[in-house]
Structure 1
Amino acid sequence: MTGLDPRGPRFVAAVTAVVLVVVLVTGSGWLTLAQTAAFALGSVDPGWNPYALVYRWLVRPRLRPPTEKESPEPVRFAQRVGLAFLAVATVGYLGGLTGLGATFAGLGLAAAFLNAAFGLCLGCEVYVALQRTRRTS
């Protein structure tokens, strides 16, 4: 069975949500930059996100095998969306535009929380909608 263990992206989203809460509380542009880098790695391959590596090495071995797997393409797209949002947040925080940084970090937090808590990956849903649009055009 190829594909991603769907619990991995939810774990990544949970860690991302915690990081973004810390970003919003502290206003740290450097932590925002670190999260942006995590998204950049995940946008190449979702398994390269540092939090995905933690899941694969420390968490997954303690769980039962997944009953199903999912395509990595929607998750890769979602990581790219996160990368775009957090890049804007990074520019905001490091450029002294705290409101811009907080707004985009907050939007990233909302998306990460929805995925972590409810399994609703907004970026994945956008990816699927775009694929449907391409097929009907």
Structure 2
Amino acid sequence: MSDRTAGAPVRLDPRGPRFAALLTTLVLLLVLATGSGVLLACQAVVFALGAVLGLRSSPYGWLFRRLVRPRLGPPQDLEDERPPRFAQAVGLGFAVIGAAGYLSGATWLGIAASAAALAAAFLNAAFGYCLGCEVYLLAIRGRARLSQG
């Protein structure tokens, strides 16, 4: 669920990205178990949709809105969509690198990139800690400091 006020960033139910992280964790575990560059490329498409078009445009966002959200109570509050979108972009980078590794025969690269993405997805799914979101916030703070001095 998201909310938009004119000129304000999109706000969303924070449980949606955590649900997406759970599905991503499962997909990445399957990628590591099978070594499937094609499956990782499919996950890259999911990341790309979330990063470029917004989390509501991601298949995992759609599943959350249609199947999970109606069974939950209303969220305590909504959060800014920008940090999770940035996290999707970071995931996209790792998925593209990993898929290229698997598909080109550089299996070690596929494994390393998939494992890194899996670690971040698992942190979010299990503990609600979005590593990409934290990197986004650090970058925003760093940019603000640079513009001040």
Task: For structure 1, list consecutive stretches of 5 or more residues without a partner in the other structure.
Answer: none
SS at structure 2 position matched to 1:65: coil
Number of aligned positions between the proteins: 137
1: CA distance between counterparts of 2:28 and 2:135? Answer: 22
1:33 and 2:19 aligned? no
Post-superposition shift, 1:136?
A: 1.1
1: CA distance between counterparts of 2:142 and 2:41? Answer: 33
Task: State the superposition RMSD in angstroms.
Answer: 0.9
Which residue does 2:124 correspond to in 1?
Answer: 115
1:51-89 Cα offsets, whole Å, 9 max, x none, are 111001110001001010100000110000000010000
1:110-137 Cα offsets, whole Å, 9 max, x none, are 0000000001100000000010011111
TM-score scaled by length of structure 2: 0.90
Post-superposition shift, 1:27?
A: 0.3
Which residue does 2:67 correspond to in 1?
Answer: 58
2: CA distance between counterparts of 1:46 and 1:135? Answer: 26
Task: For structure 2, list consecutive stretches of 5 or more residues without a partner in the other structure.
Answer: 4-10
The amino acid that maps onto 2:86 is: F
Moved over 2 A (4+): none
Which residue does 1:101 correspond to in 2?
Answer: 110
Higher Rg of the two aligned structures:
2
**Equivalence map 1:40-79=2 (5 Å):** 40-44=48-52, 45-79=54-88
Which is strand-richer, 1 or 2?
2
**Equivalence map 1:8-19=2 (5 Å):** 8-19=16-27
The amino acid that maps onto 1:41 is: L
1: CA distance between counterparts of 2:56 and 2:127? Answer: 21
SS at structure 1 position matched to 2:79: coil
2: CA distance between counterparts of 1:85 and 1:62? Answer: 33
Which residue does 2:6 correspond to in 1?
Answer: none
Which residue does 1:24 correspond to in 2?
Answer: 32
1: CA distance between counterparts of 2:110 and 2:136? Answer: 25
Which residue does 2:14 correspond to in 1?
Answer: 6
TM-score scaled by length of structure 1: 0.98
2: CA distance between counterparts of 1:96 and 1:24? Answer: 14
1: CA distance between counterparts of 2:56 and 2:87? Answer: 13
